[in-house]
Structure 1
């Protein structure tokens, strides 16, 4: 059966929470049908995760009766502008747990499934993350088998007994072209590359800076990958031979991720490739798993860092553009990993404004008790083990020189010391 032949009114009820695979994993045939039938179904909430524009232009999230729910504001500007965006400010690791505990009740799961594997069973396509939990707990599961979706055999199985309806499609999954890095990102990546040793295990977040860092690591050897997301940059690093996954302490020879997101190049890289595994959040973000990895280097970006080491990854100029996400999960994992490096990387300015600030303009995503290694184009500020006064000195050293004087004369927030502490 083709998606357009499906009567969703038989499965979706008014008031339901409908969840589907995020980013490239969205089953666009099913979501297009939901868009066409939304008026008949009535008001629903849709948990969409990270958004990517649909080239068909038939977005269910534009329907007046639909409220978009997501852990991130990325890709949901129209829903936000219309006042129909509900943000779930949760750690990425907590989303699947909330589904398991029925605190986040998924009524209908729309999944993109791969062609059948050699065992005759279909796998989740491109995203295991929290969709594995949705697949287990949703009242209704509808699967769209996409013949062009890459097959990762080591991925959650779409159990036939859990599926209320199957539809068949053949299309290239949604793509997310890699970000183009500039001179600033390359300077930041050079600083980080100097910290990464052979044999390290990499976790790389989204954005220009993390992708630029990966490009600077092609001369490393025996690297491993354990990441929430794998995109074009990490796939290219595997192709260079820099990644073997031989020394990371577990999953020998296998790059582990929860989400594949990028262009056709990364889809081809993971397709039918036994050296890649697609695992749910309960594994990719598990604190004990992360602690067991050898020299775990986590590289994530942020919106701003204050002079005490607190980090805002969520709000810029009053808009929810980022996420709580998995940054803190991975930072804490790297801190427990033997030889690990918890890195936050960001340009020192944005739009002429300093991103090293006296006071955050948004929420505290990463508290100062988890202060990481902060890297800008001006250098490295390793805040681990430092007092508040010394953190301030280190962060001023990596701030943009044009803003340092103003930062030096800014009034410290309560609890942040303005004078140098004695040894």
Structure 2
């Protein structure tokens, strides 16, 4: 009886796509489901019906410069549609920098409340869902993120029901009673495409994996290096995952046993995410997978929730960093990768507990090798992470921890991560900018390649001690070490008594080329 009532209601609410979108009125604000969960059939119908509308505001998580809807908004100068995005997408195209774009800068965890509290009232939400079950529940599938809050807050909801949308456990369901119009249409879900891989991917991945201990809970951002880093984690044990977006790479980690989610401390036994971007195989694997829970962004990306995970390791990617440690991030042109808006949420959440780590990964050079991604100061792009929030930074030339370091120490550390071809220029630009004392030198350190393979950690009296080659940023640590030595040890070390260990005298111990000159420190 109940099943028949659901079927009857479903049939009464069913329309074709053209009928559905023409219920939208000029001047209304329309939310469109995010990323790979975008209801493509409804969006196509909306564009085909453009002549029926004036000044419709489209709200979406990410403006995709390659999408037809975005191009149409450009063509009609916003008179038919204009785009309001939480994140702009790539800053590499002139059209997306035009003034007719209305960008709403906001961390991802805050977006659902923007809808729920009617700070940005939504007239219509266009979403994509799975087939309903016998009780009328439909899954938002691969795009729960901010879409659930939009659907719950909009005055009207138009749902494209796609049999190919997986039903994924978690807080990801909407009931037929809460949907005004049903448009049934089967089509392939949007897929991610392969990204080019950096030549230095192996070194970067190894350096990153060295910061991830067994039993860690990881968040992995989306970039060209996501896949090689995931591969580098395959030998780890009992990892947990709490992340915005699940990809094929994370699916492989769980399938191979590296991810068990046993020791997360929160939602143990479950991989927690708010959406998926990947292949058809990934979407099929997610269907009814009880090891997975999808939840909205105000839970998954909330720093207070993130901080409750044991040994949280947030791994994110920078397109560019300056010498102070500020992160400038930019999407790749024509993609669905929208994880940048949640980066700061995860960095704060990972560093709230004492055992957490935030890791920023940056290749030293552009993929063509012509420019340095570590620069003195950026001229363009968005500052996604202010320097005060940045701690661990990884490139193919090693790892540094910027937490607690002053501007000069940060500049020296960042230069040590840059490609040797650019270090001389960066060093002297930093001196001109007043970031580094003009009396300082780098000498051999300008050209040395840090041998991460020489690092070794051992435990003494329950405390881990890492033996590693010295870095240019270690000079103050070396000074402090000598100042704490007993007189007899100083005399033995320097073949005579001395009471001062000035920086310029100690620099030679940290300025090494790792070939002819090498200093080992224990930290």
**Could you state the TM-score of these two structures normalised by the residue count of structure 2?**
0.74
Map Cα deviations across residues 149-173 of structure 1 (whole Å, 9 max, x no partner).
1110323221223211111111221
Counterpart of 2:423? Answer: 404
Offset at residue 136 of structure 1 (A): 1.3
Contact 1:109-1:135 within 8 A present in 2 as well: yes
Indicate whether 1:23 and 2:39 are aligned.
no
1:8 to 10, 21, 26: 21
- For 1:408 and 1:322, the matched residues in 2 are separated by 34
Contact 1:290-1:337 within 8 A present in 2 as well: no
- For 1:2 and 1:78, the matched residues in 2 are separated by 39
Counting only pairs closer than 5 Å after superposition, residues 111-190 of structure 1 correspond to structure 2 as: 111-117=127-133, 119-190=135-206
Contact 2:61-2:338 within 8 A present in 1 as well: no
Q: How many residues matched?
A: 417
Counterpart of 2:507? Answer: none
Counterpart of 1:355? Answer: 373
Counterpart of 2:459? Answer: none
- For 1:223 and 1:128, the matched residues in 2 are separated by 24
Q: 1:214 to 1:197 in 2, by over 3 A?
A: same
Offset at residue 53 of structure 1 (A): 8.8
Of structures 1 and 2, the one with the larger relative CO (CA 8 A, separation 6+) is: 1
- For 2:95 and 2:38, the matched residues in 1 are separated by 17
- For 1:88 and 1:295, the matched residues in 2 are separated by 32
Tell which deviates more after alignment, 249-258 or 44-53.
44-53
Indicate whether 1:192 and 2:208 are aligned.
yes
Tell which deviates more after alignment, 88-97 or 218-227.
88-97
- For 2:344 and 2:95, the matched residues in 1 are separated by 27
- Larger-Rg structure: 2
Q: 1:72 to 1:361 in 2, by over 3 A?
A: same
- For 2:323 and 2:304, the matched residues in 1 are separated by 30
Q: 1:183 to 1:417 in 2, by over 3 A?
A: closer
* Secondary structure at the counterpart of residue 349 of structure 1: coil
Offset at residue 48 of structure 1 (A): 2.9
Offset at residue 281 of structure 1 (A): 1.0
- For 2:287 and 2:262, the matched residues in 1 are separated by 21
* Secondary structure at the counterpart of residue 181 of structure 1: coil
- For 2:418 and 2:385, the matched residues in 1 are separated by 19
For structure 1, the residue ranges without an aligned partner over 5 or more in a row are none
Counterpart of 2:399? Answer: 380
Map Cα deviations across residues 81-108 of structure 1 (whole Å, 9 max, x no partner).
7765332222222222222232222221
- For 1:153 and 1:98, the matched residues in 2 are separated by 25
Counterpart of 1:66? Answer: 81
Tell which deviates more after alignment, 227-236 or 412-421.
412-421
Contact 1:313-1:322 within 8 A present in 2 as well: no
Offset at residue 179 of structure 1 (A): 2.5
Counterpart of 2:487? Answer: none
Map Cα deviations across residues 127-181 of structure 1 (whole Å, 9 max, x no partner).
1111111111111111111101111032322122321111111122111124242
Counting only pairs closer than 5 Å after superposition, residues 72-83 of structure 1 correspond to structure 2 as: 72-74=87-89, 80=96
Counterpart of 1:32? Answer: 44
Counterpart of 2:509? Answer: none
- For 2:322 and 2:312, the matched residues in 1 are separated by 25
Contact 1:373-1:382 within 8 A present in 2 as well: yes
Offset at residue 409 of structure 1 (A): 0.7
Contact 1:129-1:280 within 8 A present in 2 as well: yes
Counterpart of 2:347? Answer: 331
Offset at residue 330 of structure 1 (A): 0.6
Offset at residue 52 of structure 1 (A): 6.3
- For 1:249 and 1:47, the matched residues in 2 are separated by 36
Counterpart of 2:222? Answer: 206
Map Cα deviations across residues 25-50 of structure 1 (whole Å, 9 max, x no partner).
00111111111112102221212323
Offset at residue 114 of structure 1 (A): 1.0
- For 2:39 and 2:258, the matched residues in 1 are separated by 33
Give the alignment's Cα RMSD to 1 decimal.
2.7
1:313 to 309, 323, 329: 329
Map Cα deviations across residues 355-393 of structure 1 (whole Å, 9 max, x no partner).
111112234221121122111111112112222222122
* Secondary structure at the counterpart of residue 245 of structure 2: strand
Contact 1:2-1:169 within 8 A present in 2 as well: no
- For 2:251 and 2:232, the matched residues in 1 are separated by 14
1:241 to 233, 257, 268: 257
Tell which deviates more after alignment, 195-204 or 366-375.
366-375
* Secondary structure at the counterpart of residue 394 of structure 1: helix
* Secondary structure at the counterpart of residue 173 of structure 2: coil
